[in-house]
Structure 1
Amino acid sequence: MINFNGNIQPSSTITIEKNRGFLFGDAIFETLKVVDNKILFAEDHYFRLMASMRICRMEIPMNFTLEYFEEQILALTNALSFNHSVRVRMTVFRDSEGFYAPLSNDIGFVIEGQKLLSKEYNVSTDFYEVELYKDFYVSKHLLSTLKTNNKMINVTGNIFAKENDYHNCILLNDDKNVVEALNGNIFMKMGNSIVTPPISDGCLNGIMRKQLINLINKMEGFECLEKSISPFDLQKSDELFITNVITGIQPITKYRKKEFGIDFSIQLNEKLNELI
């Protein structure tokens, strides 16, 4: 069951050989968490989607308001009859014929959902090892900060991680600075400072990233800094963790020869669950 352009139906009628999202990666998407019929951080997701559509020069329909955005997502989750918690992906694609040059900038969308096991965010205490992925690098430009269908570096990075028994990999930009993990933003704790790469370094403009920056800056004795991180800095840190809107906070317990604690991740996760 999906929501295709506002219609709840068993599957889409999209033919992939004519769809620009498939042919050229000409699509953007949002991954959201819905809990008890409420979209977490709905406004942030909506405004990021609108900004992404503008950057990609897509034509935004007049009726594509925040209310419409929420209605379309909840129409699907209600139709699915999942209890409590749902992972939702909304993909917006340029609905046009043409080759590299589209004949129009009109859009279509598909919304799909999957059941989640928990409403709350839970910090895993399991062993979690990461490594640098250096086959390809993230470019420092605005498109790198968007959630587009062009995710080949994330796909090949995940294959590399699986082949080498890592749980995740860390991506670097053209300056060889840390950008993010394969599936989320990265944070590094050094004393009372929590550091995360700035958007200008090419990292995803993450929704959970924004929430946690705000939460950390409200915690007594801690501050969150947005500044470049070198791979060498990772081995000097006290804690490392990855963030996204579905998992919440995923602590990294090992990078190369350095092992990390998870105390701050647990503390921050408590604040996050209070927020939602």
Structure 2
Amino acid sequence: MPGYFVHNGQLFREGKAVISPDNRSFRYGDGLFETMRIINGNILLKELHFERLLRGMRLLQFNIPEFFTAAQLEEDILSLCKKNRIADKAVIRLVVFRSDGGLYDLEDMRPNYIIQSMALQQYPVAPAGNGGLVIDIYPDASKACNIFSEVKSNNFLIYVMAAMYARQNGLGDCLVLNQYGRIADATIANVFWVKNKVIYTPPLSEGGVAGVIRRFLLQQLPAAGYTVNEQPLTPDDVLNADEIFLTNAVKGIRAVGQCRNRSYSSSVTKEMRSLLMDKWK
């Protein structure tokens, strides 16, 4: 049976056209999005998701109306999941974009939005060999480091191409370089590494997206007794790490088993996964 989606607060059947050829997200990638995980009718880490969304909208200079609130979006999301009969386990994609217009003649800065819901898949912890993902570094392009780098932007081209490269080369994921030749993040994830039992992740100034699980771990790890530092990550650091794991709000925490000829352990990664799952129950 066809499902439903939400456009600007209204429910439509899938397949209904609701945007025009002048849509600014389609034309220019002018907007941003959130992907969220729902378990038993609850949006996991919802405060962090909505805070990131609204922070990104302010950075992109949207005029945010009074009715565009986290509470209203949550109501739309949960109602949609219930309508599509997937309220127990679902993935939400919330896309926000500016009203139609040309590049310079923009007059309406208010947000438009579309919410889609999909059944949550069972993502394997280790879809590749050596106890975790097999990854490499995407060689063909790099990401700029600027004030917009941390936004989960609708302009996702470099990540699409890196994901295609990973698939074409039989990899579980690819790391994406920044303009300085250091690691920004992965195609759909932030990257953490472990060296001598200390946990590291690149600061957002290195060009990575401001991930929700990344922020959750930075908040929770010190209180749980772990040492965690934000530090730039070089390709040499990747090949000398004791462990590497990737974090994503839908897929959770995934261990990396191998990068090129380097294999990794996963003891700390398993502890991180347990820490996250305790919060997700």
TM-score if structure 1 supplies the norm length? 0.94
The answer on whether the counterparts of 1:253 and 1:260 sit within 8 Å (CA) in structure 2 is yes
Query: 1:131 aligns to what SS in structure 2?
Result: strand
Provide the residue aligned with 1:43 in structure 2: 47
Please point out which of 245, 269, 272 is paired with 2:273. Answer: 269
Provide the residue aligned with 2:6 in structure 1: 3
Provide the residue aligned with 1:155 in structure 2: 160
Provide the residue aligned with 1:14 in structure 2: 18
Structure 2: stretches of 5+ with no match in the other structure: none
1:103 counterpart = 2:107: yes
C-alpha distance in 2 between matches for 1:24 and 1:100 = 12
Provide the residue aligned with 1:134 in structure 2: 139
Q: Which amino acid aligns with 1:225?
A: N
1:202 shift after superposition: 1.0
C-alpha distance in 1 between matches for 2:180 and 2:138 = 14
C-alpha distance in 2 between matches for 1:138 and 1:100 = 25
Provide the residue aligned with 2:212 in structure 1: 207
Q: Percent sequence identity over matched residues?
A: 27
Once the two structures are superposed, what CA deviation does each residue of 1:52-78 show, in whole Å capped at 9, x if it has no partner? Answer: 111111111111122112111111111
C-alpha distance in 1 between matches for 2:108 and 2:44 = 33
The answer on whether the counterparts of 1:122 and 1:248 sit within 8 Å (CA) in structure 2 is no
1:83 shift after superposition: 4.8
Q: Which amino acid aligns with 2:261?
A: K
1:212 shift after superposition: 1.6
Provide the residue aligned with 1:169 in structure 2: 174
1:138 shift after superposition: 0.9
C-alpha distance in 2 between matches for 1:107 and 1:218 = 38
* Count of residues in Structure 1 that have an aligned counterpart in Structure 2: 273
Once the two structures are superposed, what CA deviation does each residue of 1:81-108 show, in whole Å capped at 9, x if it has no partner? Answer: 1152110000011012223442221221
Query: 1:96 aligns to what SS in structure 2?
Result: coil
Call closer, same or farther: CA 1:76–1:105 in 2, change over 3 Å: same
Q: Which amino acid aligns with 1:8?
A: L
C-alpha distance in 1 between matches for 2:36 and 2:161 = 24
1:16 shift after superposition: 4.2
Structure 1: stretches of 5+ with no match in the other structure: none
